[in-house]
Amino acid sequence: MAETKRSWEKRLAGEPDELTVDFVESLSVDRRLYKYDIVGSIAHSQMLAEQKLITKDELKAIKGGLIEISREIERGQFEFAKKYEDIHLAIEAALVAKIGEAGKKLHTGRSRNDQVATDIRLWMRDAIEILQAKLNGLQRAFVKLAGKYTEGVMPGYTHLQRAQPIVIASYLLSFVEQFERDITRLKNCSELLNISPLGCGAVAGSTLPLERKSTAKRLGFADISYNSIDAVSDRDFCAEFIFDCALIATHLSRLAEDWIIYSSDEFGFVRIDDSYCTSSSMMPQKRNPDVLELIRGKTASVYGSLIAILTILKGQPSGYNRDLQEDKIHIFSASDTVKASLDMAQAIVSHTKFNTKKISAGLEEGFLDATALAEYLVGKGVAFREAHGIVGSLVAYCEKANKKLAELSLDELKKYSASIEPDVYENLGAVNVVNKYATEGAAGPKQAKEQIAYWNKQLAE
Ligand code: ARG
C-alpha cells in the first residue's frame, strides 16, 4: 500500500509517539468489522452520488476500490498497518492509495463516530442471528434427548435435597424454556439496535444535504436515529447484547453444574461421552468432565465483559469519547465465548445418556412421594395444613422404622389418619406419583409428551 499522509497530520505537529500509536490503535480488534465497514461505505457513497455530492464516476471508482479491498482482506493480502489506528482509516487510506482523488471524497459528511456506531450495529445483527441459530440447535438436542426419557423418573430437587419425583424429559425440557427466553431477549435486542446512526457525523450532523433514510434503507435498518448526539454515544445495545450473552452463559453454567454433579460416582445419573471428558495426568482411573467445567468457568469472562461495558459507559460525558473504542473487545469476547460454549453444549447434550437403572434403584430414598400423599388426603377432605402435619409425622415414623411410605400397612397408615383408604397405594412410590400429576406444566410423562410435541413443531419452523 502506498504511503498516505493522514489528513490530521496538518493539525498536529509531527508524528505521534510510538507508544501512542500502539496504545490508541484498535485495528487489531476491529479488523473483523471490515465487511460491515465496506458495506456501510458503499451505502454512504451511493447516497452521496444520489445527492450529487460526488459524481457517478467517482461512485463507480469508490465502489470498485472498496470491493477490491474487501477481496484483498479476504485473501489475506491486505496490510493492516496500525498507524491507521482502526479499520475505518485503514480501509479509507487503502482506497485513496488505490483510486486517488475520488477516494478522498468517501468521508464526505461522515465521521468515524457515526461510522463505527453503524458498523457495530451491522455486525451485531449478524452475531445475534448466529447465536439464535446455535440456541435453536441446542434446543433441538435437548428435545431429542427428552424424547428418550418421557417415562424415566428421577428425583426433582430443591435446595439440592430430594423434593418430588419428575420425569427426566421434564428436567431436560426446563433448559429448552431457558434458551427460548434467551432467543427472545436477543430478538428484542436486535429490534432495538436496528436503527441507523449514519449521517450523524461527529456529534451534530452535517450542513450537507445528506439523505439519511436512503443509507438506512440500503443497510436494512428499520429507521434512523433522530438525535445525532445520542446516536454517536449510544452503546446501550452493546450492554444489552453482552447481558443477553451473560444470561446464556448463566444457563449453560447451571446445566454444566448439574451434569458435573450428576456424572459423579456419588450420583451416577448421567454418563458424559468420553469425547467430552479428559483424564488425569496422574490418576489413571479418572474421567473428568473438564468441558463442562470450562463452560462453567468461561461464564466468568462474559460477566467480566458485562461489568466492563457498563463501566466504560458510566462516567462518559455526552457525545463520543474514545473510551467507546473499548466496547468492541467486550462484545466480541462475549459473543465468541458464548458461541463456543453453545457448540460444546450441543455436542455434549447430543451424546449424553441417563443411567435410568441407577436412578431408579435409588428413587424411593428421600420420601419423594410425601407431597403427593398430603394431596391425596386433601382429596379425602382433609385440610392441607392438617394433611401436611399428618404426612410429616408419618415420615418421622418411617425414618425410625426404616421403611418407605409405600411399605407401610394400611393399619399403620390409618393410625395417623382415618381418611386413608386402600386406594392410597396408587399415590405412593415415585412412578405412581408422576403419573398422577394433573396440572399443566407439571413434571409428569403426559405433560412432557405434550411439550415435546409442541417443541418439535416449534423448532421445525
Ligand atoms: N476506533 C474508534 C472506535 O472504535 C473509531 C472512532 C474514533 N473516533 C474518534 N473521533 N477518534 O470507537
* SS3 sequence of 233-298: HCCHHHHHHHHHHHHHHHHHHHHHHHHHHHCCCCCCCEECCHHHCECCCCCCCCCECHHHHHHHHH
* 231 in Cβ contact with 200 (< 8 Å): yes
Residue that wins the pLDDT comparison between 2 and 59: 59
Instruction: Kindly report the pTM of this predicted structure.
Output: 0.95
- Choose one of 320, 322, 329, 330 to mutate for the ligand 1 pocket test, by most ligand atoms within 8 angstroms of C-beta: 322
Percent of the chain with pLDDT over 90: 93
How many Å apart are CA 341 and CA 252, to the nearest integer? 8
- Pairing type for strands 270-271 and 353-354 reads antiparallel
Average pLDDT score over the chain: 96
**How close is the Cα of 96 to the center of ligand 1, in Å?**
20
> 113-145+175-359 sits in which CATH class?
mainly alpha
pLDDT at 281: 84
Residues 6+ apart with CB under 8 A from 21: 82, 83
Nearest residue (by CA) to ligand 1, atom 4, is 325
How many Å apart are CA 277 and CA 22, to the nearest integer? 41
The fold of 7-108 is: Fumarase C; Chain B, domain 1 (1.10.275)
- Quick check: CB of 116 below 6 Å from ligand 1? yes
Q: Do 113-145+175-359 and 7-108 have the same topology in CATH?
A: no
pLDDT at 1 over 50: no
Report, as an integer, the average pLDDT of 335-356.
98
Instruction: State pLDDT tens for residues 257-277.
Output: 999 999 999 999 999 998 998
Instruction: State pLDDT tens for residues 381-437.
Output: 999 999 999 999 999 999 999 999 999 999 999 999 999 999 999 999 999 999 999
How many Å apart are CA 194 and CA 122, to the nearest integer? 8
**How close is the Cα of 113 to the center of ligand 1, in Å?**
6
Angle at 88 between CA 82 and CA 90, to 5 degrees: 40
pLDDT at 99 over 60: yes
* Structural domain boundaries in the chain: 7-108, 113-145+175-359, 370-460
pLDDT at 8: 63
The fold of 370-460 is: Ribonucleotide Reductase Protein R1; domain 1 (1.10.40)
* Residue 21 CB neighbour total at 10 angstroms: 15
pLDDT at 4 over 70: no
| Nine-digit cell string for 394 | 408419618
Smallest CA-to-CA distance from 45 within 224, 226, 211 is with 211
What is the position in ligand 1's atom list of the atom closest to the CA of 30? 4
- Quick check: CB of 115 below 6 Å from ligand 1? no
